[in-house]
Structure 1
Amino acid sequence: MFQFTNEAFSILSFLFPGYLGFRIYFIDKSWNNLSPINVFYGSLVFSFFSYLIVFGMVYAFFDLNFVLQSYVFALISTPIAIVLGLLWRLFGHTRFHKFLYKIKVTNEDNNSSPWMQLFNNPQVSLSQITVHMKNGVSLKCDDTSYFSKEEWMKIGLYSHYTCAEGDVYFIANRIRTEESGEWVKVEDLHVEDPWGVKIQWIPVSEISRVEVRAVKAT
């Protein structure tokens, strides 16, 4: 019968807060490209600093024999690790790479891929999207703001959406085939209930090129 030993529980409780902090820091990046060792050490770093902060906070105010029990320490450290992940993502990462740039170590911001910088950057809003596919068909949305309806967004339906791997869906109102070479209106783009709006999902394996127009998000 499986026995959950104290050592295994101690390791789990130590890494758990750090994993949550690391997950928040890495929330919109591709986890498929991460090795287990990167996840382990990333979790270890956030756990270490969260435990260090908690130890300093409770040293003068609590019974250390009680607090140093692994499950108690993990419960206290978890929100600290989450806050650390948020702070590093919002402020630390960018400033650290700016510092490396200033001392001429690197000009790489290590922030995201070009794809994610366009589609998942909260400071950028895409006003137009054109996707050219390998089969010669092109799909286009002339104005994404027209399809950014509040009632749709409340249920998770957006004018466009993508993942770190590169798949994309968007509401395309125009289509062009290789044979015609002319943009034509997508028929039945939006019909009354119960049918709703037509959405195009395109896997990254079928995408040849993507063109967008971008503005500063408001």
Structure 2
Amino acid sequence: MRPAAAGVALGLALAVGVPTAWELTRPAAAAGAPVEQALGTAPVPTPPPAPGPDVVVRDAAPAAAAEVVAPIRLAVPARGVDVAVDPVGVTADGQMALPDDVDRAGWYRFGPVPGAPGSAVVAGHVDDAEQGLGELAPLREAAPGDEVVVTDGAGASTRWVVTGRELVDKQALPVDTLFRRDGPPRLTLVTCGGPFLPEVGGYRDNVVVVAEPTP
């Protein structure tokens, strides 16, 4: 699979894990605008993903990418999130690669950089049986109006405001919309959520938070 998908599997479940404090308290499933409304309709409809715990990658050749300055840090002050960000691609089985460290997040480097047209995706593990809760775990409580600050490798910062949060079943995740490369700039933050499924060793859903540039 070429690391150039228009949409990428967000199988952010633990390979080996048990439910942690994430399972003990659950916020409302959604707040603010629904994900697809916040991001806009994907340009080309696609069929539902194949059965399984994760979403399937759809292969697509990328346009030649201009040199960009990658994001290196993301903060959501109202939720206590302040996380280092690494550029990531796609794993051999077609999932979005993520840092093993739950205190780091990954930016999908084959998609837009934050601030460019389209949806810039930053994702990370919600927890780990040994490491505990991840830095992105508080996204389950993100609310419309929360500020998000992204800092890039050159020291420049962009500021965003959360417009919506939604808990989405991984089987219904709108990957074409989440990873779109056109339309207004959006920042899409993703981690795991919902019930823990022992049979797959991970969570059923993804927490998806969408933010737009601060006016």
TM-score (norm 1): 0.24
Higher relative helix content? 1
Select the structure that is richer in strand.
2
Tell which has more relative contact order, 1 or 2 (C-alpha 8 A, sep 6+).
Answer: 2
